[in-house]
């Protein structure tokens, strides 16, 4: 009986099979998953922060602006206003954030409003600065947002008002120590 078989030594068969298996494993590990989506709530570039403080009972408004067209790093800010307030006065205050690196400029404040359960502004005066800040807005979980505040001044003083925006998706609990910092600025402030 005639059989048409090719006899190959076992060791010669195992080597090519092993190399083929190894190559398949390497190629599959390099394969990108095209179905992966970009992470949600990616940080936006914030180039401009504007505080608008209207004295209660009057039309007097104090505006303080921080503007850094190329964002953090790179060139120095082109505008960083000092806040000058009257003593023993209450101000209704709003904050606006912009990305002015785009044309037209993008209002980042709207995104903060939409994602208010994930964001909070913190306003911290340095020791000796007679300024207090009270939140006037809350998210769906009854936690402060800080887009609208009341600023109350006491006697004449100087110092800095630290304004920090924290991004805290799923962990927001009115704690400045947690989450990612989106903005942190120290406005020189004078009450006179």
Whole-model pTM: value is: 0.78
Q: What is the pLDDT of residue 24?
A: 55
Q: Choose among 132, 62, 131, 71: nearest CA to 97.
A: 71
Q: CA quadruple 169, 175, 177, 183: dihedral positive or negative? A: positive
pLDDT at 25: 54
At residue 22, φ and ψ (nearest 5 deg) are -65, -45
* pLDDT tens per residue, range 94-125: 999 999 999 999 999 999 999 999 999 999 99
pLDDT at 6 over 90: no
d(CA 155, CA 187): 18
Distance CA 50, CA 180 (A): 21
pLDDT tens across 136-185, in order?
Answer: 999 999 999 999 999 999 999 999 999 999 999 999 999 999 999 999 99
Give 71's contacts (C-beta < 8 A, 6+ positions apart). Answer: 45, 46, 47, 101
Q: Name the DSSP letter for residue 170.
A: T
Task: Determine the average pLDDT of the residues in 28-46.
Answer: 57
Is the pLDDT at 38 greater than 70, yes or no? no
Q: What does the alpha-carbon distance between residue 85 and residue 188 come to, in Å, rounded to a whole number?
A: 11
Domain boundaries, the chain: 48-191
Q: What is the pLDDT of residue 94?
A: 99
CA dist., res. 129 & res. 85, Å (int): 11
pLDDT band at 46 (very low <50, low <70, confident <90, very high): very high
Give 108-141 as a DSSP string: HHHHHHHTGGGEEEEEEEPTT--EEEEE--B-TT
Least confident of 36-45, 52-61, 70-79, 111-120: 36-45
- Report the relative pairing of strands 61-67 and 48-55 from DSSP bridges: antiparallel
pLDDT at position 154: 99
């Amino acid at each position: 009986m005639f059989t048409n078989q090719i006899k190959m030594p076992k060791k010669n068969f195992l080597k090519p099979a092993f190399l083929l298996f190894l190559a398949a494993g390497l190629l599959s590990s390099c394969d990108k998953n095209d179905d992966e989506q970009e992470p949600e709530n990616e940080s936006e570039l914030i180039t401009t922060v504007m505080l608008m403080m209207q004295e209660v009972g009057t039309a007097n408004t104090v505006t303080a602006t921080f503007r850094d067209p190329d964002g953090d790093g790179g060139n120095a800010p082109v505008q960083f206003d000092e806040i000058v307030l009257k003593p023993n006065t209450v101000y209704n205050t709003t904050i606006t954030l912009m990305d002015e690196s785009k044309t037209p400029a993008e209002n980042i404040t709207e995104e903060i409003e939409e994602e208010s359960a994930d964001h909070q502004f913190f306003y911290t005066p340095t020791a000796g600065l007679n300024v207090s800040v009270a939140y006037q807005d809350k998210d769906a979980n009854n936690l402060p947002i800080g887009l609208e505040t009341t600023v109350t001044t006491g006697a004449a003083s100087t110092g800095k008002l630290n304004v920090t925006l924290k991004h805290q998706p799923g962990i927001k609990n009115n704690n400045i120590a947690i989450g990612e910092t989106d903005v942190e600025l120290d406005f020189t402030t004078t009450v006179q």
